[in-house]
Every structure is written in structure tokens, then in C-alpha cells.
Amino acid sequence: MAISWRNYQVNNLYDELMAGSGRIRPQARSLCRYFQRLSESALQQRRSAAELAIQGMGITFTVYSEKAGGAIDRAWPFDVIPRIIKASEWQRTVEGLKQRVQALNLFIDDLYHDQKIIRDRVVPADLLADSVNFRPQCVGITPPHRVWAHICGSDLVRDRDGTLYVLEDNLRVPSGVSYMLENRLVMKRIFPELFRSNAILPIDDYPSQLYDMLQAMAPAGCDQPEIVVLTPGIYNSAYFEHTYLAQQMGVELVQGSDLLVDSDDVVYMRTVEGRARVDVIYRRVDDLFLDPEVFNRDSMLGVPGLMRAWKKGNVALVNAPGAGVADDKVIYAYVPRIIRYYLDQEPLLPNVPTWLCHERKEREHVLAHLDQLVVKPANESGGYGMLIGPHASAKERAHFARLIRRDPRNYIAQPMLALSTAPTLIDDHVEPRHLDLRPFILSAGDSVQVTMGGLTRVAMRRGSTVVNSSQGGGSKDTWIIDDRESDHAVACC
């Protein structure tokens, strides 16, 4: 026997598949039994087949390495045991995510127009003044359907008691959706029988939903819009995803140098047939590199004049420049208030309790409890620049105390959550590993769609809670399972 669920230690944490040692959650029953029946050699065979499939399909992510003298492609680390969420729970989560993104879009639109929320003193004015992602160049612009954050990747984590919290919202250029899709393809290839015996809801229509959303953003009177994906190029860590999405949607993958904006303020791409008009740009280049006429003058990744074309309404930019203002971790703390303000509803999904270092009282609390808290910079992503208090040395904590005092606006602190775990194949047995979940929310005005599940990222090192692929994280397929049948945890057979 390769896998024994009896010996699996749940360790007083919430486990996604196990309700306690030896007690399988009902939605995971068929899966766990399947793995238990696999012989050691069959299990290893499937695992290497999965690795081969990943290599063969060319699923990689890029990391920058000083040692290798540049960017290197690494195979995507993948665990064959899926993570399961019940459809009934997921339905509630979807409603919460839709509510959240709807409110965030209203918030961003308000910030670039009347700023009612600031005049009504729900969000303090100085917060906006100090926001590094607020773009004064976007003030007064109204993008199609008043949507700014067309694609949002929100990170969800589950605490000890099973509650799902929103940890952060990524509104700039969230990545990972291609891995979600590829993980499912790998699972289908390697474990086809599991898909017959479980009611796993499909996820494959994301690329066509994305395409439909992009199409809906086209300038008025444009029936057959030319849609492109704009990538910073091969050295970007998400380049694989850029090529993947362009391929799946059947649109051109372009770089800044492929595009130009003429004196008519229209965007064209340079083709061998001559210039061709571009109507919608799914851009994976950060705001500040988008247009050297307006933002970073030295940017080689952008297109001079892009903002002119966008302001004139001649091209749609997805996500809109300036959407990142709501990506700020300080703004994050205000999201529940933002939801109440614009929608007059109670938030369906809770935020993680957050202390704001720019508020004197809260800062003092943070400084006094650095050994218990997680401190995050307001505008970093990828898990960089964080302090995980309980695991940090006294020296590291002192360093962060200095950073916080020097620039309080740039830091927030949250309690150390007891992140949920899921069984993960480590060598020849299963061990619990911490994980999170990144669903993707597509907004096209009236219609908002959420992926069925999302990308589950796993911290592959024992005890670690850092799930970022750049820092040793892996991933799992995420199953939303129709759970209308049984609902009692069962003892292991």
C-alpha cells in the first residue's frame, strides 16, 4: 500500500480533504479510496507520467537567476493529489467574489471621477494622495462599461475554523490562470478514471469567456475587433501564460515594438501586409511601462501614444491603467467599507483582520506584536518584502520596525493565519502542506464570471506558508465537486 490515510496527521489545522486523522471528508471519499488502492509502483508511475506531461507540454515558469546569468525556464511543480471544494460552498464564494469585484470597479471609477467616497470620508484623502498606484493621468477617463479591473485574481486562504478569507486582490496584471487550465489537462491525461467516478465541474471555457469579455470591451461600432495580448517579452516570469492565452484565444501575441500609435490616435500593429488596426489590448505590461509619452520615459516595453489612443476611446486597455489603485494592501483594509458604501450590502466574504501602520494606535500595536504578526508592504507582489513575525529572527524584526517607522503608509500587518493544508505527495507518502486559492473574476459590465475554482498553490516545504512559484511553491488541480449526495465524514476503510 502506498498511501495510508490512517497515518496522515491533521495537526489541529483545517485540512481540505481530511476532517481529522483517518476521517475523510465526504466529497473526497472516492478520491482518497482511489489513491489508497494504487500500489506504490503505480503511484510513482503516474507521478512520473505527470512530470513528463508537464515537460512535454512545455509548462514552465521563468525565474531570474544571477547564477545562470539571466532568466531560466523551470518546469511547473505539480502535485497529483487534487484539492476539493464542495460546489455548495463554492457557490457562496462566487457570490462574494462578484460582490467584491463589482464594488472595487465602482470604487476605482469613483476615484478617477468625483471621489465621492473621499468626500463622504469613508476612505481618508491622504491615503489616495500617497498611493503609488493612483494614476493622475487617468482622472476623468471613462472606459467602456465603466469597467477598470476586467480581470481580477483574488487570493483566498482558509483559517483553522474553515472560514475562507480574502487575503488580497490582484487588479493589475494577475497571472496564474494558464496553470489552472494546464493542471486540469495534466490530471485528465494521467487520471482519466477519476473524472468518470467524480462529478468534477469543468473549467475549460475560461479562454472563450476571456475572449468574449475582451470583445465586449471593443470601441463602439467595431463588429469584429482585432484583439491582441501585449507581453513584456520572453524574460517576463509569466511569458508562458502570455503565449498560452494568445494561442488559446487565437489572437496575436505582440510586444511593444510591434505596435504604434499614429497622429490619428489609433493603435496599429506592424504586419507583413502593412499596418493593421488594433481595437482591444489585453496588456500584461505594468502601467508604468505602458506608454513612455506619459509614464516611464525609458520604457522599451510600451507603446508611445497608447494613452492618447485610450483616452480618445480608440482602443480598450484591459485591465485599465490605474486599476491597481485598489490593489494597495492599505486600500484592502477598507474593502468591507467600500462594499457597504457602494452596494449597501454586507460583505459576503470576510477580509483578514488588518492593522494599518499609518494609524498611530494601530502602528503601536503592530510594533509591540511583531513576533505574532505578518507584515506586508502595501504594493509588493510575489511574496517579496514580507516579515513573517513568528518565524523571523530578532534582527529581522528590528529591521522591519525601522522600515515601518520610516514609511508607515507602506505597511500593514495581519495575524498569522493557520492556513489550511491538503495531503501532498512527498516521496512515497502523503504529508499535509499549506495552500491558498486564486480564483479569477472576469468583469464585462453587467456580466461577471468567476472561474470554477481557481489556481491552488501549495507551499512544498514542510511548515512553509509561502506559496509563490518564484519561492518554491507548487500547485494542485482544484476540483469543485457536486456534493448533493452524502455529507458525513467517513472513517477510513
Which residues make up the interface to other proteins (CB under 8 A)? 58, 233-234, 243-244, 246-247, 252-255, 257-258, 260, 268-275
CB of 252 to other proteins, least distance (A): 6
**Per-position DSSP letters for 429-478, written without gaps between them:** EEEEEEEEEE-EEEEETTEEEE-SS-EEEEE-STT-----GGGTEEEEEE
Nearest to 319 by CA among 286, 294, 277: 286
- Of 234 and 426, nearer to other proteins (C-beta) is 234
How far is 469 from 458, CA to CA, in rounded Å?
Answer: 9
Joined grid coordinates for residue 271: 504586419
CB of 247 to other proteins, least distance (A): 5
- Of 30 and 255, nearer to other proteins (C-beta) is 255
- Of 248 and 468, nearer to other proteins (C-beta) is 248
- Of 101 and 246, nearer to other proteins (C-beta) is 246
CB of 300 to other proteins, least distance (A): 14
- Of 109 and 279, nearer to other proteins (C-beta) is 279
CB of 62 to other proteins, least distance (A): 11
**Per-position DSSP letters for 13-47, written without gaps between them:** S-BSSEEETTEE-GGGHHHHHHHHHS-HHHHHHHH
How far is 91 from 482, CA to CA, in rounded Å?
Answer: 11
- Of 45 and 271, nearer to other proteins (C-beta) is 271
Joined grid coordinates for residue 239: 511569458
How far is 192 from 477, CA to CA, in rounded Å?
Answer: 13
CB of 270 to other proteins, least distance (A): 4
Q: What angle do CA 146, 92, 90 make, to 5 degrees?
A: 105
- Residues 457, 64: contact at Cβ < 8 Å? no
CB of 255 to other proteins, least distance (A): 7
Q: What angle do CA 448, 452, 454 make, to 5 degrees?
A: 100
CB of 319 to other proteins, least distance (A): 22
- Of 179 and 244, nearer to other proteins (C-beta) is 244
Burial 113-136 (b: 16+ CB within 10 A, else e): eeeebbeeeebeeebbebbebbbe
How far is 194 from 191, CA to CA, in rounded Å?
Answer: 6
How far is 493 from 490, CA to CA, in rounded Å?
Answer: 8
- Of 244 and 341, nearer to other proteins (C-beta) is 244
CB of 237 to other proteins, least distance (A): 15
